[in-house]
């Protein structure tokens, strides 16, 4: 077993209650949600009340021997700041939670981010991929968002960000990196690997304080399915583009475990012959421990399954 394993991209919520692109997302029962006009299996069906809690996640983490996790946010889940603050205060050794200011209405987002940092959030999330979908595009380099990013840089807060497919927002990110060279940035979804020009997002990690995390990589390679050999080849390509020291594993829990188990979301990397033991160790935990500043982490025992 490789230690530590750290999940750099996961989600928690008590209830989904959001509107995105004018369409509702609502928690139903049995793991289902109303999602933009249709019912989708958002969670495994045994989440009968739709509550995606820290305690359920910790149970999954302990079983899968995952020592810690970064809890990010997405507009489709609604703002979960109040709950995530409780989670971080209750389990500081296991979770680093991202606050989220609603940059879809830029006016005031800087002040909101400031309040979130004052409350104790050490990272802020921007689901930037959602900013290009509305009729009136919101630019990451707009005055108010740039003020927010510079304030985050000054306060040592980490930016967790998901970008639109390909290179669409890469020029904006290059400007942000130039204007805020000390801002620590984690780019999600492995640059939207499987989409055209995904490598352009990965190349951003050639900059000193920029990292790439793989949250959602099993979703993006879902058609291929386990053992996700194409995903491992993409990791190999990203190593060539940016170096193994700039890459981190993420699961996109819990949405991805409607198709696979939580352990399967990383053991395809452990079992692959395409990566060295050192590369696996850096990718699965050591890079994230250094980037996010995780301290003493629990070593979790392997429990034999009844089927073994």
| Residue 106 vs residue 100, higher pLDDT | 100
| DSSP at 36 | T
Across the range 88-95, mean pLDDT stands at: 97
Q: What percent of the chain has pLDDT over 90?
A: 94
pLDDT value at 199 more than 90? yes
Across the range 169-193, mean pLDDT stands at: 98
pLDDT value at 86 more than 70? yes
Confidence label for 2 from pLDDT (cuts 50, 70 and 90)? confident
pLDDT, tens digit, for every residue of 247-263?
999 999 999 999 999 99
Q: Assess contact for 46 and 292: CB atoms under 8 A.
A: no
Across the range 195-213, mean pLDDT stands at: 98
How far apart CA 194 and CA 54 sit, in angstroms, is: 30
pLDDT value at 149 more than 70? yes
Across the range 16-21, mean pLDDT stands at: 91
Q: Residue 37's CB: how many other CB atoms inside 10 A?
A: 7
Q: Assess contact for 183 and 209: CB atoms under 8 A.
A: yes
Confidence label for 136 from pLDDT (cuts 50, 70 and 90)? confident
Average pLDDT, the chain: 96
Q: What is the pLDDT of residue 105?
A: 86
pLDDT value at 154 more than 80? yes
pLDDT value at 1 more than 80? no
pLDDT, tens digit, for every residue of 215-246?
999 999 999 999 999 999 999 999 999 999 99
Exposure string (b/e) for 259-279, b if CB count within 10 Å is 16 or more?
Answer: ebebbbbbbbbeebeebeeeb
Across the range 278-283, mean pLDDT stands at: 98
pLDDT value at 181 more than 70? yes
Q: What is the pLDDT of residue 134?
A: 60
Across the range 162-185, mean pLDDT stands at: 98
DSSP, collapsed to helix, strand or coil, labels residue 26 as: strand
Q: What is the pLDDT of residue 238?
A: 98
- The two tokens of residue 85 are 């603050």
- The two tokens of residue 117 are 């940092």
């Amino acid at each position: 077993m490789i230690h530590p394993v750290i999940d750099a991209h996961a989600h928690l919520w008590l209830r989904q209650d959001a509107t995105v692109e004018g369409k509702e997302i609502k928690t139903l029962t049995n793991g289902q949600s109303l999602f933009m006009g249709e019912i989708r299996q958002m969670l495994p069906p045994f989440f009968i009340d739709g509550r995606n809690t820290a305690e359920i996640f910790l149970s999954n983490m302990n079983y899968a021997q995952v020592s810690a996790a970064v809890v990010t946010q997405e507009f489709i889940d609604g703002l979960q700041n109040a709950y995530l603050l409780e989670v971080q205060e209750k389990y500081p050794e296991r979770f680093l939670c991202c606050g989220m200011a609603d940059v879809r209405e830029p006016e005031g987002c800087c002040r909101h981010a400031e309040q979130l940092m004052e409350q104790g959030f050490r990272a802020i999330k921007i689901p930037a991929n959602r900013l290009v979908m509305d009729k009136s595009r919101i630019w990451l380099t707009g005055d108010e968002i740039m003020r927010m990013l510079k304030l985050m840089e000054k306060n040592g807060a980490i930016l967790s960000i998901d970008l639109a497919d390909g290179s669409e927002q890469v020029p904006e990110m290059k400007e942000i990196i130039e204007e805020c060279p000390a801002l620590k940035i984690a780019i999600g979804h492995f640059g939207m690997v499987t989409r055209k020009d995904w490598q352009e997002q990965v190349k951003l990690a050639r900059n000193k304080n920029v990292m790439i995390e793989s949250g959602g990589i099993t979703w993006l390679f879902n058609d291929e399915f386990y053992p996700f050999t194409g995903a491992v080849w993409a990791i190999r390509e990203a190593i060539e583009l940016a170096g193994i020291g700039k890459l981190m594993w993420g699961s996109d829990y819990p949405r991805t475990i409607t198709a696979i188990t939580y352990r399967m979301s990383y053991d395809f990397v452990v079992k692959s012959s395409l990566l060295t033991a050192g590369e696996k160790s850096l990718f699965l935990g050591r890079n994230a421990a250094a980037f996010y500043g995780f301290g003493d982490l629990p070593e979790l025992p392997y429990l034999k399954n009844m089927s073994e």
